[in-house]
């Protein structure tokens, strides 16, 4: 059975790149009818951020991606948190040492640091010099007796290591360029390399789908599988998600823009994010662009994943979000918008309906509907006058409008429109001469939604009041 995993570290929030990796794993699993596992890789105690794990799970779920096994779910291969599996790693690393595939290293960090610096100044590859590889049993015994801190290193054999990657094809690495990687740290925690291989094997992961940054160290992992005598999973390395400068999207360089939660908070919709992320590095056979999560689980195919990194482009995300906002029913949109509307006791359905085609993200509603909530609009009287209009005629238009709208009993967009039309067809005013001042009177803005939608949303009393205020403003000027 196909089984994949998403294995983030609890060092922050859900990263956009991670979200895409999770999505691809999920889609691949669902399409194959397999399982998708969430595993927490908290083996670095220094970088651990409290509360991070919960946010990771929460953000992923918000996207609509659900896992079959994970920290908060029962599963037969748990625990799914690596810090709870230390004894397992210890046992496996002991086996490796016993079989001669790994060895104890008692070198101090200072020595390692100096070694690295010397190699750098000599323009040599920076690698461990294997000083501890040939320690005698007695020497090792003595170090242990002295309680010298130690790590366990992989003993990289002579030769070349080859593996096949689903998106990159065959990769060949000379073993003499591979460092004797630390597998077990001096604090008893495993490094990523050990924990990852052991867990993927024990959890019966069939496909490792992860970021491209892991491609160089995959050779180490292949070596580890060999050392354990296990068969390796199928490898698949996804191209990086890049920033506008084409470097890997990172918290350090790009700040909050890397977190999924940033977009969530601004009112980007999960299906828009999913749709955008899916197309960032993957493309279907045809030219379809709009996909639901469900569509994607049918269409997705690792063989069509791009090799080169993809720049995260907010303007395209914006377009997707606009598409999804416009597709929503007014009722659904209004419900989503409640978090963003200012405090009020009004029915906002009319507001929502009038600005649906003007929103890029849900938070835009604040600015877009600001004029609805204001008790007193502030604008210059001159704004009321159309481009080629005169104050006198504008005043007349507003008075006529006030008069005719006062007599509209059925306050709907249609009847308001026909009331205005009757004024226009009387021939006294052009549409612009009539509607422009009304728009400004109602909104205080040059750009606004449809005049009649605004009036409907505002209600009769408020609409007439605003017309009245505009008339007074014009008279005073």
Give which of 322, 400, 333 is closest to 361, Cα–Cα: 322
Give which of 262, 445, 268, 261 is closest to 364, Cα–Cα: 268
Contact map string, positions 16 to 45, toward RNA, x by CB under 7 A: -------------------------x-xx-
Can residue 313 be called a binding residue for RNA (CB under 7 A)? yes
Nearer to RNA, 374 or 431 (CB): 431
Q: Which residues in the 373-402 window bind RNA by CB under 7 A?
A: none
- In the complex, what is the shortest distance from the CB of residue 366 to RNA, in angstroms, rounded to a whole number? 16
Can residue 311 be called a binding residue for RNA (CB under 7 A)? yes
Strands (E), 69-220: 102-105, 151-154, 160-165, 169-174, 182-184, 207-211
Chain center to CA of 425: 53
Contact map string, positions 290 to 309, toward RNA, x by CB under 7 A: --------------x-xxxx
Handedness of CA 217, 221, 224, 229 (dihedral sign): negative
Nearer to RNA, 74 or 155 (CB): 155
Q: How many CA atoms lie within 13 A of 76 on its CB side?
A: 2
- In the complex, what is the shortest distance from the CB of residue 325 to RNA, in angstroms, rounded to a whole number? 10
Nearer to RNA, 170 or 343 (CB): 170
> 413-425 vs 451-458: helix axis angle to the nearest 10?
130
Q: Which residues in the 117-136 window bind RNA by CB under 7 A?
A: 120, 123-128
Give which of 149, 169, 157 is closest to 100, Cα–Cα: 157
Contact map string, positions 258 to 297, toward RNA, x by CB under 7 A: ---------------------xxxxx-x-x-x--------
* 131, 177, 294, 422: residue in contact with RNA (rule CB under 7 A): 177
Give which of 283, 277, 163, 177 is closest to 215, Cα–Cα: 163
Can residue 326 be called a binding residue for RNA (CB under 7 A)? yes
Per DSSP, the three-state class of 75 is coil
Can residue 319 be called a binding residue for RNA (CB under 7 A)? yes
- In the complex, what is the shortest distance from the CB of residue 203 to RNA, in angstroms, rounded to a whole number? 15
Can residue 315 be called a binding residue for RNA (CB under 7 A)? yes
Catalytic residues: 251
Nearer to RNA, 92 or 345 (CB): 92
- In the complex, what is the shortest distance from the CB of residue 284 to RNA, in angstroms, rounded to a whole number? 8
CA distance 228 to 89: 12
Q: Which residues in the 70-99 window bind RNA by CB under 7 A?
A: none
- In the complex, what is the shortest distance from the CB of residue 343 to RNA, in angstroms, rounded to a whole number? 26
Per DSSP, the three-state class of 29 is helix
> 52-63 vs 270-278: helix axis angle to the nearest 10?
90
Can residue 173 be called a binding residue for RNA (CB under 7 A)? yes
Q: Which residues in the 178-237 window bind RNA by CB under 7 A?
A: 179, 182, 185-187, 189, 191-192, 212-217
Give which of 397, 393, 379 is closest to 434, Cα–Cα: 397
């Amino acid at each position: 059975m196909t089984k994949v995993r998403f294995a983030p570290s609890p060092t922050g929030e859900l990263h956009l790149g991670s979200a895409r990796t999770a999505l691809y794993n999920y889609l691949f699993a669902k399409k194959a009818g397999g399982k998708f596992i969430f595993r927490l890789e908290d083996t670095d105690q220094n970088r651990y951020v409290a509360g991070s794990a919960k946010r990771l799970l929460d953000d992923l779920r918000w996207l609509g991606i659900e896992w079959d096994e994970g920290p908060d779910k029962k599963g037969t291969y748990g625990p799914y948190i690596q810090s709870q599996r230390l004894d397992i790693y210890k046992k496996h690393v002991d086996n490796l040492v016993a079989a001669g595939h790994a060895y104890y290293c008692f070198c101090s960090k200072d020595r390692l640091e100096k070694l690295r610096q010397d190699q750098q100044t000599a323009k040599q590859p920076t690698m461990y010099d294997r000083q501890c590889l040939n320690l005698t049993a007695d020497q090792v015994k003595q170090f242990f007796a002295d309680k010298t801190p130690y790590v366990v290193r992989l003993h990289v054999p002579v030769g070349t290591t080859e593996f096949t990657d689903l998106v990159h094809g065959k990769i060949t690495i000379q073993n003499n360029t591979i460092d004797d990687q630390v597998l077990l740290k001096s604090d008893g925690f495993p490094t990523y390399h050990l924990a990852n291989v052991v867990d993927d094997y024990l959890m019966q992961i069939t496909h490792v789908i992860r970021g491209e940054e892991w491609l160089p160290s995959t050779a180490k992992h292949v070596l580890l599988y060999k050392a354990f005598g296990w068969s390796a999973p199928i490898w698949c390395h996804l191209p990086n998600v890049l920033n506008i400068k084409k470097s890997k999207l990172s918290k350090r360089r790009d700040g909050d823009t890397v977190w999924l939660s940033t977009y969530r908070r601004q009112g980007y919709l999960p299906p828009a994010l999913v749709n955008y992320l899916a197309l960032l590095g993957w493309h279907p056979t045809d030219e379809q662009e709009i996909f639901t999560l469900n569509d994607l689980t049918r269409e997705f195919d690792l063989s069509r994943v791009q090799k080169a990194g993809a720049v995260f482009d907010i303007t395209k995300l914006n377009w997707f979000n606009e598409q999804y906002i416009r597709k929503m029913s007014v009722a659904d949109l209004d419900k989503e918008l409640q978090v963003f509307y200012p405090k009020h006791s009004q029915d906002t359905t009319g507001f929502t309906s009038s600005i649906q085609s003007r929103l890029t993200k849900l938070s835009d509603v604040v600015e877009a509907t600001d004029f609805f909530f204001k008790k007193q609009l502030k604008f210059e009287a001159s704004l009321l006058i159309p481009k080629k209009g005169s104050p006198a005629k504008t005043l007349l238009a507003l008075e006529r409008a006030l008069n005719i709208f006062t007599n509209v009993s059925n306050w709907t967009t249609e009847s308001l429109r026909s009331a205005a039309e009757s004024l226009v067809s009387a021939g006294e005013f052009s549409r612009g001469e009539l509607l422009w001042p009304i728009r400004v009177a109602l909104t205080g803005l040059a750009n606004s939604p449809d005049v009649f939608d605004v009036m409907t949303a505002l209600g009769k009393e408020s609409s007439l009041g605003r017309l009245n205020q505009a008339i007074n403003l014009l008279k005073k000027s």
